[in-house]
Structure 1
Amino acid sequence: MSASTSADPRERILVLGAAGRDFHDFNLMYRDDPGVEVVAFTATQIPDIDGRTYPAELAGPLYPAGIPIVDEANLEQLIARERVDTVVLAYSDLAHTQVMHLASRVIAAGADFVVPGARRTTLRSRRPVVAVTAVRTGVGKSQTTRYVAGLLREQGLRVVAVRHPMPYGDLAAQACQRFETHDDLVRHECTIEEREEYEPHIDAGVVVYAGVDYARILREAEAEADVVLWDGGNNDLPFYAPDLHIVLADPLRPGDEAAYHPGEANVRMADLVLVAKCDSARPEDVAAVEASVRTLNPRAEVLRCDSPVTLDDPAAVAGRRVVVVEDGPTLTHGSMSFGAGVVGAKDAGAESVVDPAPYAVGSLADTYERYPNARGILPAMGYGEAQTRDLEATIRAMVVAGVVDVVVSGTPVDLTRVVTVDVPLVRARYSLAEQEPGRLEAALRRALDR
């Protein structure tokens, strides 16, 4: 990076990101615009993504050296050194107060603060698009997407799922990835985080696309799909303009539907809002979330749904000391303190859920320091090989100490494919159940008829 001169008329832009929407927004809004220069992407939320470069192959001819990815923590210094004119927010699951704290830092440093709208950052498809998004991370998008895929396939439609980006490896190699078999997961060197989202689709016979270049991904997905199913990440907006926009709201975190970015925008844009986890939430919280959604978006149809949890082998858990592994982002920036694994373990009569924090190894110890709400549960922090080995080592330390008898895994991935566990591992699986069956299918039919 080099500081601009007064003779350079281009607008100098810094994109705040987390290795996902930031690249997408750049590709759509700035890559081919000679009137701007994107001086850097910043990185947060995801470990070990700063210090890399958005490669020239993806950045285009205006950026022959690529674009550096740097730590967001040095925001003010970066604005000053690079004489940044505009800072663009391009990541998700931020409290509204966090968004405005970022804006205040940017404004005080002398730059403009921009939050791009949906019109500039969505692509139009030649196929019908059904999008599943949420108000927060960990609401239940995964089981909802699988449920919707099943309903569409029952209508005889070819469904291709396109997953929100998780490009944690070689960005150029990950530009457009297609997953149909478990061998594809190995070939693309998928992390636990990626496997959590891709494996269930593959097991159901649904092809998945993901990567970095979502225009190219859309073209390839359209070639083999009757319907494109957008499988959202965090609480981000869809990258493709939906014909039916389904948004998940969470009564275990009442109020968050109106307090997080861009989750509130999702609610306001939604055609259909599913209030999930009604079987685990207090009735008054379900009612409060439903009332809040109706205030934010009176035109949206609102459905109540349960999120039943089943264990593969409840008898193996009854009366035993267990360590519970849950989806990582749900416990970290999703702010939850439990997930499907805890629900399943307690329902099965586990003697106790053992706190893994005293045995945490490496990056997991750092995770508990940063996200104290996760203490008591083991987040499946699998953004790379080192974190996967830390997860395995933490479980082994608990086994060696003699404090656990069973591992209960609430993550959608089959952990036995990526870690070695020396005690029985029981999977907790969760699904979506409509309280009024048939309404979601009817909404899908209406959208496709249009």
Structure 2
Amino acid sequence: MDERVIIMGAAGRDFHDFNVFFRDNSDYMVVAFTHSGDQNLGEVGGAEGREYPLELAGELYSSGIPIYDESGLSDLINELNVDKVFFSYSDVSHNKVMNIASKVLAAGASFSLLGPEDVMLDSNIPVLAIDAVRTGCGKSQLSIQFTRLLKEMDMDPVVVREPMPYGDLKKQRIQRFEKEEDLVGLTVEEREEYEQHLNEGNIVYSGEDYELILRKVEKEADLIIWEGGNNEIPFFRPDVHVVLADALRPGHEVSYHPGEVNFRLADYIVINKENSANKTDINTIKENKMKINPSAKLIHANSNVKVDNPSKIEDKRVLVVEDGPTLTHGERDQGIGEIAAEKYGAKKILDPRKNAVGSIKETLDKYEHIKNALPAIGYSKEQIRDLEKTINNSNCDLIISGTPINLKNIIKTNKKIINAKYTIKGINKPLNTIIKENIDKLIPK
């Protein structure tokens, strides 16, 4: 084996890249994975002490591949005689990517990125990919809207998600979710992605080995909806590629990795949340689109607030709970719950920091831009307990939940919960036009 490699990841694309490009490639020996500190893996002790199992590593490996915390990268390069470091995670600024590259180069190794052609798998059934330039742009809402339309057309779509392998990797090689009981034991972050699809009657696949997942899905469905986590590039080669940009984060479409890759690859670019943005910011995204992907079709869209019993919010002191990743590494300072509180006349939005405990307090201390929302963080049982205590400590009249899960499925509380959700709607043309304009590509041959 010629080159000794570290793969930098965050428990997701890194394992896919290994399986597809490195596992049977004798030109390389992967001597370690590193994981960023953005994921607290709780029950499995964080990154340290984990390994990519021998059972998944393939015939070229005689043992599992160790996983280390990214903070020790420079020392690892020297200790393990590493020739090359491959960067393999998403939703990070271009500035951060190059900061990491500089660290790698200074430690004496080369720095690399795998391209889509290296790691995209070819499907025998059509693939409609829904991606974004950042996390929290509205992928799930659009995916759900498309699954409804496809079912009305007597098609049988299955949703495939980027992995979130926070448990036993051997058991997570192929994951299939269809019923509520399939979600037992998952993290909050996993439930946020899967539960809303199950409520729609959609089957969702995820896991570790996407070659095996793809071949299994091909036997069950006649079309795949790829829903990329964060702003990830599709694992499957898309027949139609739809990418969402966020009108509230103008410029991010050309300053985050790999969101800009998606922006450049898109067949359709959907600028979402325009009803909450100003014209200058919308025009910034339009101008960037014309510069780097003029051939993509452009759709303008609104995200509208949908709330159960909105009249119950008026004059209440509320605690807002939001989708965790959107607030944390997605860098949003406001989510749908806070928007609903303001729209429907809440008397006061309570500061979650005053009652935060344990890992929830640590998260709020780390992400200082979060002001009036409690991120629903729960990578472990301990974190879920901290979330429960933080919520129950709050002297609120009710909770407005902007997370897509039913909070009462994971915590015990006697507080009243009102759910707030987004619905996405096209402005210049219906979003379903994307399906209708590409029906020949999406009907199985």
> TM-score if structure 2 supplies the norm length?
0.96
Amino acid at match of 1:139: C
SS at structure 1 position matched to 2:280: helix
1:4-30 residue CA offsets vs partner (Å, 9 max, x unmatched): xxxxx5310000000000000000111
Provide the rounded CA distance (Å) in 1 between the counterparts of 2:232 and 2:124: 22
What displacement does 1:446 show? 4.9
What displacement does 1:107 show? 0.7
**Aligned equivalent of 2:39, options 34, 41, 46:** 46
1:394-419 residue CA offsets vs partner (Å, 9 max, x unmatched): 01111xxx3x1111000001111111
What displacement does 1:440 show? 2.5
- Is residue 195 of structure 1 aligned with residue 187 of structure 2? no
- Is residue 258 of structure 1 aligned with residue 250 of structure 2? no
Measured on the aligned residues, the alpha-carbon RMSD in Å equals 1.2
Residue 24 of structure 1: aligned partner: 16
Residue 443 of structure 1: aligned partner: 437
Counterparts in 2 of 1:206 and 1:120: CA distance versus 1, 3 Å: same
Provide the rounded CA distance (Å) in 1 between the counterparts of 2:370 and 2:51: 31
Provide the rounded CA distance (Å) in 1 between the counterparts of 2:371 and 2:57: 40
Residue 201 of structure 2: aligned partner: 205
Residue 325 of structure 2: aligned partner: 329
Amino acid at match of 1:95: S
Amino acid at match of 1:43: H
Within a 5 Å distance, the mapping from 1:142-181 to structure 2 comes to: 142-181=140-179
Q: Is the 8 A contact 2:248 2:277 kept in 1?
A: yes
SS at structure 2 position matched to 1:374: coil
What displacement does 1:294 show? 2.1
Provide the rounded CA distance (Å) in 2 between the counterparts of 1:328 and 1:53: 26
Amino acid at match of 1:46: Q
Provide the rounded CA distance (Å) in 1 between the counterparts of 2:289 and 2:387: 38
Residue 220 of structure 1: aligned partner: 216
Residue 307 of structure 1: aligned partner: 303
Q: Is the 8 A contact 2:126 2:223 kept in 1?
A: yes
Provide the rounded CA distance (Å) in 2 between the counterparts of 1:180 and 1:260: 33
What displacement does 1:424 show? 0.4
Provide the rounded CA distance (Å) in 1 between the counterparts of 2:2 and 2:284: 48
SS at structure 1 position matched to 2:213: helix
SS at structure 2 position matched to 1:218: helix
Provide the rounded CA distance (Å) in 1 between the counterparts of 2:104 and 2:177: 40
1:284-330 residue CA offsets vs partner (Å, 9 max, x unmatched): 21122122112210110010111111111212211101111111110
SS at structure 2 position matched to 1:308: strand
Residue 276 of structure 1: aligned partner: 272
Residue correspondences, number: 436
Provide the rounded CA distance (Å) in 1 between the counterparts of 2:288 and 2:149: 28
SS at structure 2 position matched to 1:334: coil
Amino acid at match of 2:158: V
SS at structure 1 position matched to 2:330: coil
Amino acid at match of 1:140: G
Amino acid at match of 2:299: L
Residue 116 of structure 2: aligned partner: 118
**Aligned equivalent of 2:237, options 230, 241, 259:** 241
Q: Is the 8 A contact 2:338 2:372 kept in 1?
A: no
Residue 25 of structure 2: aligned partner: 33
Residue 3 of structure 1: aligned partner: none
- Which residues of structure 2 form unaligned runs of 5+? none
SS at structure 1 position matched to 2:176: strand
Amino acid at match of 1:244: V
> TM-score if structure 1 supplies the norm length?
0.95
**Aligned equivalent of 1:129, options 124, 127, 130:** 127
- Which residues of structure 1 form unaligned runs of 5+? 1-8
Amino acid at match of 2:424: L
- Is residue 394 of structure 1 aligned with residue 390 of structure 2? yes
What displacement does 1:171 show? 0.7
